[in-house]
Amino acid sequence: MALLLLFVLVLTLSAAVSADEDAFVGVNIGTDLSDMPHPTQVVALLKTQQIRHVRLYNADRGMLLALANTGIRVTISVPNDQLLGIGQSNSTAANWVSQNIVAHYPATNITTVCVGSEVLTSLPNVAPVLVNALKYIHSALVASNLDRQIKVSTPLASSIILDSFPPLRPSLTGHGIQY
């Protein structure tokens, strides 16, 4: 019971709809906790609950290994604290992709890389390197012949939308990035 309660506290459910799939329920997993259940326990619970999509907030090797050969679709994140280095160096991005994606793919079904998390609103001083980080991660995927299998994106906070109505013409805050 305690494991289940801890799991519920650690994970948040989110529904998402993709243009090429039906709606699904996914789980966001953060592993920076001292009392996190073992990755194999987490994956066993995911399977029991028939969860087929997860987002890892960091490239936790144990979680990536535990998710191998499960068929669960994995979104892996570049943590904000690594964004500056990756956005300033193509070789740093290539190293990150090699260690965290190439080393685990295709056994672990990695489908997306999220570069940073809400960078424009949480770390505005890092925002100028965000586009380079996206480009460098994508270039590393191209070099590894994985760019067609793995998408690259960045999560943005909904607060950057000043006026969401009408939905076809929203206006954004001044957090724009020039490239």
Instruction: Tell me if 75 is assigned to some domain.
Output: yes
Instruction: Tell me if 162 is assigned to some domain.
Output: no
Distance from C-alpha of 32 to C-alpha of 14, rounded to nearest angstrom: 20
For residue 125, how many other CB atoms are within 10 A of its CB?
8
* Residue from 177, 118, 116 nearest 152 by CA: 116
Decide if pLDDT at 102 tops 80.
yes
* Residue from 115, 105, 104 nearest 137 by CA: 115
Number of domains making up the chain: 1
Instruction: Tell me if 169 is assigned to some domain.
Output: no
For residue 23, how many other CB atoms are within 10 A of its CB?
8
**DSSP 8-state assignment for residue 25:** E
Quote the pLDDT of residue 6: 36
Tell me the HSE value of 18 on the side-chain side, using a 13 A CA sphere.
Answer: 11
What predicted TM-score, i.e. pTM, was given to this entire model? 0.77
Decide if pLDDT at 8 tops 80.
no
Mean pLDDT of the chain: 81
Decide if pLDDT at 98 tops 90.
yes
What are the phi and psi torsion angles at 118 (to 5°)? 55, 45
Distance from C-alpha of 6 to C-alpha of 33, rounded to nearest angstrom: 10
Decide if pLDDT at 80 tops 80.
yes
Distance from C-alpha of 172 to C-alpha of 156, rounded to nearest angstrom: 11
- Six-digit token pair at 67? 């998710």
Quote the pLDDT of residue 165: 63
What are the phi and psi torsion angles at 70 (to 5°)? -100, -20
- Six-digit token pair at 72? 């669960």
Instruction: Tell me if 35 is assigned to some domain.
Output: yes
Quote the pLDDT of residue 137: 97
Instruction: Tell me if 165 is assigned to some domain.
Output: no
Quote the pLDDT of residue 164: 62
- Six-digit token pair at 24? 């699904």
Instruction: Write the pLDDT tens digit of every residue in 129-177.
Output: 899 999 999 999 999 999 999 999 988 777 767 666 666 665 555 555 5
Asked whether the beta carbons of 80 and 117 are under 8 A apart, the reply is: yes
Peptide bond into 106 cis (omega under 30): yes
Instruction: Tell me if 176 is assigned to some domain.
Output: no
| Domain coverage including residue 76 | 2-156
Instruction: Tell me if 15 is assigned to some domain.
Output: yes
Quote the pLDDT of residue 16: 36
Instruction: Write the pLDDT tens digit of every residue in 40-67.
Output: 999 999 999 999 999 999 999 999 999 9
58-83 mean pLDDT: 94
Give the CATH number for residue 97.
3.20.20.80
Instruction: Tell me if 134 is assigned to some domain.
Output: yes
